[in-house]
């Protein structure tokens, strides 16, 4: 057997200043000191590497691609060596380095900021000014019942700040502030387990937010594959970080969090009709329902999610311009199911199109719909951000969920 590529690398198509089409390899683990740029030809070699079973298979295919010019086994071994030295292959070299990273992160007490200065200001006064401006531009939703949950984007704050403001405006109005916030994020780079939780306090420009340690202990005690045995996936994940900026600003230090990243539920998409039918997910659903029953109105759920990801950047052959008329229609259907708090219906809408629009909040929202009390959702905003250089687009929305009395 020949070594394969790691399954947790991110390949992003890009264009050089000279107009050459390339791929940028990003490493969420952080073993690469900087992103690696490869040509389309090398990308093809890596693709062949994934499908070949033996060195001989690889040699034959590469020789054919070279127009009959023989590629020697020594040349192939050199390619392997270079890839291994960059920790791009799933080998003992990578696994040892990865374990060292896990062990080092486990010792840290605080989950530090990763997106400050790049996506939002580190200066608390400037951040406060930006958040207050977004909140002031938003109309508070007219809720008759009590607030159960907030659905907010996790798109770059520079693109989605008005939508964040609409999502969190309600917290300026509610009389009873939550003591515990269960923050559900998207584990974009989770390659094991269904959920990842951390004991670490979260840094924000306003200070730090403590975790509800007894609840973290209960959740982290769930076995693999339900919950990962480590918390490393929180290190560079922005989907929870962005929510905490607004929560900390609006609630101060009066609350604690249960921060949970959700991995992929796609393994159950074909065989199940809702998240609760996946046996590995059931223990987490039952525990979160139990926690909600214990805390009642003192608990708030927050989901940091985006919707469709379409276009060249996300692996589609067509451009976002061509796909958006269809993905937008699909978004509207799942937003209707969210407003109705219809978990099976939401699942069915994703299943109907085989998630071809890459709803990154699929797992997180599926979980939310299983653990909410009887509710109805109020859609506050829906936007599509277009990234013209990559011919791609991301949609996102804001919604609040009101308890039915």
Closest CA to 195 of 218, 225, 155: 225
The residue out of 84, 103, 122 marking a domain boundary is: 103
Cβ contact 282:274 at 8 Å: no
Closest CA to 301 of 403, 188, 162, 166: 403
The verdict on 138 and 237 lying in the same domain is yes
Cβ contact 385:379 at 8 Å: no
Does residue 3 sit within a domain? no
pLDDT in tens, 79-95: 899 999 999 999 999 99
Q: Once rounded to an integer, what is the mean pLDDT over residues 130-157?
A: 97
Long-range contacts of 285-293 (CB under 8 A, 24+ apart): 285/367, 285/370, 285/371, 287/218, 287/219, 287/222, 288/182, 288/219, 288/367, 288/371, 289/371, 291/180, 291/182, 291/215, 291/218, 291/258, 292/371, 292/373
The verdict on 233 and 119 lying in the same domain is yes
Tell if the pTM clears 0.85, that is, is over it.
yes
Closest CA to 249 of 379, 397, 121: 121
Which three-class secondary structure state does DSSP give residue 271? coil
Q: Is the pLDDT of residue 57 over 90?
A: no
CATH for 134: 3.40.830.10
Q: Two tokens at 371?
A: 């653990």
Cβ contact 22:39 at 8 Å: yes
Q: What pLDDT score does 49 carry?
A: 82
The verdict on 309 and 332 lying in the same domain is yes
Does residue 55 sit within a domain? yes
Q: Once rounded to an integer, what is the mean pLDDT over residues 169-192?
A: 95
The residue out of 103, 123, 141 marking a domain boundary is: 103
The verdict on 79 and 128 lying in the same domain is no
Of the pLDDT bands very low, low, confident and very high (cuts 50, 70, 90), residue 46 is confident
Does residue 341 sit within a domain? yes
CA 59-65-71 angle, to 5 degrees, is 35
Q: What pLDDT score does 323 carry?
A: 99
| Angstrom distance (rounded) from CA 401 to CA 405 | 13
Does residue 4 sit within a domain? no
Closest CA to 306 of 154, 156, 198, 181: 154
Q: Structurally, how many domains does the chain consist of?
A: 2
The verdict on 311 and 350 lying in the same domain is yes
**Pairing outcome for strands 256-262 and 207-209:** unpaired
The verdict on 141 and 98 lying in the same domain is no
Of the pLDDT bands very low, low, confident and very high (cuts 50, 70, 90), residue 274 is very high
Does residue 2 sit within a domain? no
Q: Two tokens at 352?
A: 């109907």
The verdict on 185 and 313 lying in the same domain is yes
Which three-class secondary structure state does DSSP give residue 227? strand
Task: Tell me how far CA of residue 293 lies from CA of 287, 289, 290, in angstroms.
Answer: 10, 6, 5
The residue out of 75, 103, 131 marking a domain boundary is: 103
Q: Is the pLDDT of residue 122 over 90?
A: yes
Residues 6+ apart with CB under 8 A from 249: 127, 128, 131, 206
**Token pair 């959702």 is at which residue?**
377
Q: What pLDDT score does 405 carry?
A: 75
Question: Residue 375's domain spans which residues?
Answer: 111-403
Does residue 195 sit within a domain? yes
pLDDT in tens, 152-180: 999 999 999 999 999 999 999 998 899 99
The verdict on 161 and 211 lying in the same domain is yes
Long-range contacts of 47-54 (CB under 8 A, 24+ apart): 49/2, 49/4, 49/5, 50/4, 50/5, 52/2, 53/1, 53/2, 54/1, 54/2
Cβ contact 340:377 at 8 Å: yes
The verdict on 96 and 138 lying in the same domain is no
Q: Is the pLDDT of residue 67 over 90?
A: no
Q: What pLDDT score does 135 carry?
A: 98
- DSSP H or E segment with residue 400: strand 392-403
Does residue 139 sit within a domain? yes
The verdict on 171 and 47 lying in the same domain is no
Reading phi first (left if > 0) and then psi (alpha if -120 to 50, else beta), residue 323 is in alpha
State phi, psi for 164 to the nearest 5 degrees.
Answer: -60, -45
Q: How far apart are the first and last CA of the chain?
A: 61
Q: What is the distance of C-alpha 374 from the center of its chain? A: 26
| Angstrom distance (rounded) from CA 286 to CA 370 | 9
Of the pLDDT bands very low, low, confident and very high (cuts 50, 70, 90), residue 33 is confident
The verdict on 118 and 93 lying in the same domain is no
Closest CA to 372 of 179, 148, 182, 143: 148
Does residue 366 sit within a domain? yes
Runs of H (alpha helix) within 199-358: 213-220, 238-251, 282-295, 320-339, 343-352
The verdict on 287 and 198 lying in the same domain is yes
Burial 126-150 (b: 16+ CB within 10 A, else e): ebeebbeebbeebeebebeebbbbb
Cβ contact 312:392 at 8 Å: yes
């Amino acid at each position: 057997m020949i070594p394969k590529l790691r399954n947790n690398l991110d390949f992003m198509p890009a264009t050089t200043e000279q107009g050459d089409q390339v791929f940028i390899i990003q490493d969420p683990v952080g073993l690469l000191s900087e992103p690696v740029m490869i040509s389309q030809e090398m990308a093809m070699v890596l693709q062949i590497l994934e499908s070949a079973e033996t060195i001989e298979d690889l040699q034959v295919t590469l020789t054919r691609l070279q127009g009959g010019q023989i590629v020697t086994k020594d040349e192939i071994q050199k390619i392997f060596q270079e890839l291994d030295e960059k920790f791009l292959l799933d080998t003992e070299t990578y696994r040892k380095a990865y374990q060292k990273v896990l062990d080092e992160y486990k010792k840290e007490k605080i989950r530090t900021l990763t997106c400050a200065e790049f996506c939002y200001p580190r200066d608390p006064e400037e951040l406060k000014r930006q958040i207050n401006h977004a909140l002031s531009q938003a109309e508070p939703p007219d809720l008759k019942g009590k607030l159960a949950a907030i659905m907010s984007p996790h798109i770059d704050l520079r693109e989605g700040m008005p939508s964040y403001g609409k999502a969190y405006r309600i917290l300026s109005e509610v009389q009873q502030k939550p003591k515990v916030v269960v923050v559900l994020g998207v584990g974009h780079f989770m390659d094991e387990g269904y959920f990842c939780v951390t004991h670490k306090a979260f840094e924000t420009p306003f200070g730090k937010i403590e975790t509800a340690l007894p609840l973290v202990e209960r959740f982290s005690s769930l076995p693999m594959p339900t919950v990962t045995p480590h918390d490393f996936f929180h290190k560079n994940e922005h989907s929870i970080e962005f929510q905490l900026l607004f929560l900390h600003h609006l609630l101060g230090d009066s609350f604690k969090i249960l921060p949970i990243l959700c991995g992929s539920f796609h393994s159950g998409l074909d065989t199940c009709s809702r998240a609760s039918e996946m046996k590995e997910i059931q223990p987490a659903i039952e525990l979160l329902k139990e926690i909600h029953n214990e805390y009642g109105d003192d608990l708030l759920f927050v989901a940091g999610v985006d919707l469709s990801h379409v276009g060249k950047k996300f692996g589609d052959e067509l451009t976002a311009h061509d796909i958006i008329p269809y993905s937008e229609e699909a978004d509207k259907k799942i937003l209707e199911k969210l407003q109705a708090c219809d978990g099976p219906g939401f699942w069915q809408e994703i299943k109907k199109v085989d998630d071809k629009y890459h709803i990154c909040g699929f797992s997180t929202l599926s979980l939310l719909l299983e653990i909410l009390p009887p509710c109805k959702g109020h859609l506050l905003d829906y936007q599509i951000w277009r990234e013209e250089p990559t011919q791609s687009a991301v949609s996102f929305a804001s919604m609040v969920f009101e308890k039915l009395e």
